[in-house]
Amino acid sequence: MVSLRFPTAAVPRLPPKPVPNGVTIAATLAAAAAAAAAAAASLTLTAKSAGRPVPLPSPSAPLWASLSLADGAAPGSVEPRTGAAFPTEDAAGRRLLGVGLRKTSVLGLKSIDVYAFGVYADGNDLEQQLKEKYRKFSASELKGSAELINDVLGQDIQMTVRLQIVYGRLSIRSVRSAFEKSVGSRLQKFGGQDTKELLQSFVALFKDEYKLPKGSVIELSRESNHVLKISIEGEEVGSIQSKLLCRSILDLYIGDDPFDKSAKDNVQENIASILQS
């Protein structure tokens, strides 16, 4: 290795840099703030031109917070652990009530995030079916009401659970197996032992031909007259008319023993807010 050395005398001495005074510092900060404001305005215009709502930062939020939110999802529409985002309304105009996470464990040791989910409901259906009964209760009373959730599960209210896959190695066979176990237990809970044929009709819709890479979307929708519609990546794969099956699937997400308790709480809180509006 060659080492280069220079005589000390050959190195020119530069004059010391002037220390900025208060006026200079203030001017620098003002210029930086102006540049940041211009960037924020640019992002806002971009969001508006794309047709997306522009969230407003809180008065106490720093300026860079508004920069990061300008092209993000609305508050409450992102599952915090995975970052999976959900539209505040689905294609049918149903309102997002809450988001959550489905986890599972391997050998009781390692926890795996399988999919994030969003629960949607038709606001008009909620009001028509439930408002007359629950309008006399306060929002705080409705938040913890088991009867309210029981009515939501049983009434003819159009709802959708949107699943967004976050585990990259999930197979359709694993989905079938998981639904066979979880939905099967709910069918027995609400309908007794003679539910095997109904369960098989449901899981048979998840055929081997469907692939589920990370980011894939499955939608389980209760349509009018308790028709369960199943879609994978926007393609309808089948439907089954069964009040028992619709109730059993929704129970996984907002019932007594949900996959994500905080998601259920958010759903119930938003339902209460709709009924009190």
pLDDT in tens, 225-241: 999 999 999 999 999 99
Shared-domain flag, residues 212 and 123? yes
State the CATH number of the domain containing residue 137.
3.50.70.10
CA dihedral sign of residues 203, 100, 90, 245: positive
Q: Is residue 1 part of a domain?
A: no
Shared-domain flag, residues 112 and 59? no
Q: Which residue has the higher pLDDT, 21 or 203?
A: 203
Shared-domain flag, residues 152 and 235? yes
pLDDT at residue number 42? 38
Q: Is residue 17 part of a domain?
A: no
Q: Is residue 14 part of a domain?
A: no
Shared-domain flag, residues 45 and 137? no
Shared-domain flag, residues 264 and 166? yes
Q: What is the mean pLDDT of residues 135-160?
A: 94
Q: Is residue 178 part of a domain?
A: yes
Shared-domain flag, residues 99 and 65? no
**Element containing residue 104 per DSSP (H, E):** strand 95-106
Q: Is residue 74 part of a domain?
A: no
Shared-domain flag, residues 126 and 232? yes
CB 104 within 8 A of CB 111: yes
DSSP summary character for residue 271: H
Domain count, the chain: 2
Shared-domain flag, residues 189 and 106? yes
CB 215 within 8 A of CB 240: no
Predicted model pTM: 0.74
Q: Is residue 121 part of a domain?
A: yes
- Distance of CA 61 to CAs 64, 66, 69, 228, Å? 8, 8, 11, 43
Q: Is residue 229 part of a domain?
A: yes
Shared-domain flag, residues 265 and 175? yes
Shared-domain flag, residues 246 and 139? yes
Shared-domain flag, residues 264 and 181? yes
Q: Is residue 2 part of a domain?
A: no
> Given pLDDT bands bounded at 50, 70 and 90, which one contains residue 54?
very low
Domain extent, residue 49, equals 22-69
Q: Which residue has the higher pLDDT, 108 or 211?
A: 211
pLDDT in tens, 80-128: 999 999 999 999 999 999 999 999 987 667 899 999 999 999 999 999 9
Shared-domain flag, residues 129 and 253? yes
